[in-house]
Amino acid sequence: MRRDIEFKSQGEICRGWFYTPDNGNGPFPVVVMAGGWCYVKEIVMPHYADFFVKAGLSALIFNYRRLGNSEGQPRQHVNPYDQIEDYKNAISFVETLQDVDPTRVGIWGISYSGGHVLVTGATDPRVKCIVSTIPVVDGYANMRRVHGTVGFRKLTKAVMDDRRKRFGGAASEYIAMSAENFSEVLCTWPFPETYRIFTDIQKAEAPQHEHRNTIESVELLMSYNVFPYLNRILDTPTLMLVAEGDDLTLWDLEIQAYNQIASARKKLFVIPESSHMALYSNRSKLEIAAEVATGWLSDHLVKPFI
């Protein structure tokens, strides 16, 4: 029960998939889902959506502007503030669907979008439930730690050089999202396992994925911080899923962010003996995350209305 959809976000078309349960009659509660850094809709999200739909939820998965089969230029430009706007416009879109109960809207995000859903949930009162999975919460701290002192110097120089070129009228240049030989190739996320796993996913499931981004995207990442928004999540049920030992998006910072969420209706779940990329490559770890998220969404969007 999946159909192609599209909606406009600031005049440009975002495209995606809308799922409804095989059983039951609508209108259904809905989970709005989008991916992390350079994701297209085929990357891992359908696996999570399968769990949600079996629990009686509908689900919308979409590509942000400038990625996959959505419109927008420059391609592969990752602007978190535009992506948060895309989330909000996706919510406006599902409100128009006859299959959807607009009073029961949840949002789910992973990695970069794990941070986006915290900001979206804090600033959009239509959101009734949040699931934040292995989120990016402080882009500057994240980049500084994972690149190390010398690597961060190189990254900062590339960002400033790119800014000067853009001031002169040039377009932002591109760097790799990640790289196997990251010590030799400048990239945003310097993890060989990210490169290997995304390459495998691209070959098997997501041919539209491009493993690159504008350098301006990195500059925007280094000004990205969800902490100022967390005290605005006052009563929205919020689940944060953290991978034990996650040194990609930094599980200690994630737990700090969780502790600052104002809502008493919140839950932290640490996936044991895991890692960031295990939620993409290890089916058993993915299933743990999906089952916990399904339970949370069901408890707050399905069961109270039965």
Per-residue pLDDT tens over the stretch 86-109: 999 999 999 999 999 999 999 999
Do 61 and 190 fall into the same domain? Answer: no
130 and 233 share a domain? yes
Q: Tell me the average pLDDT across 143-150.
A: 98
Do 287 and 160 fall into the same domain? Answer: no
**One domain, residues 106 and 43:** yes
Residue 237 domain boundaries:
2-138+225-305
The full DSSP string for 158-205 is: HHHHHHHHHHTTPPPPEEES--TTTTTS-BSS--HHHHHHHHHHHHHT
Residue 241 and residue 128 share a domain = yes
CATH of the domain at 44: 3.40.50.1820
Residue 147, amino acid = H
Closest CA relative to residue 25, chosen from 50, 51, 1, 6:
1
- Go through the chain and tell me how many residues it has: 306
Supply the pLDDT for residue 305. Answer: 78
**Prediction pTM value:** 0.97
Q: Residue 306's pLDDT is what? A: 67
Question: pLDDT digit string (tens) for 173-198?
Answer: 999 999 999 989 999 999 999 999 99
Residues 188 and 120 grouped into a single domain: no
Contacts within 8 Å (CB) and 24+ apart, 49-53: 49/19, 50/290, 51/290, 51/291, 51/293, 51/294, 52/19, 52/108, 52/293, 52/294, 52/297, 53/1, 53/19, 53/20, 53/21, 53/22
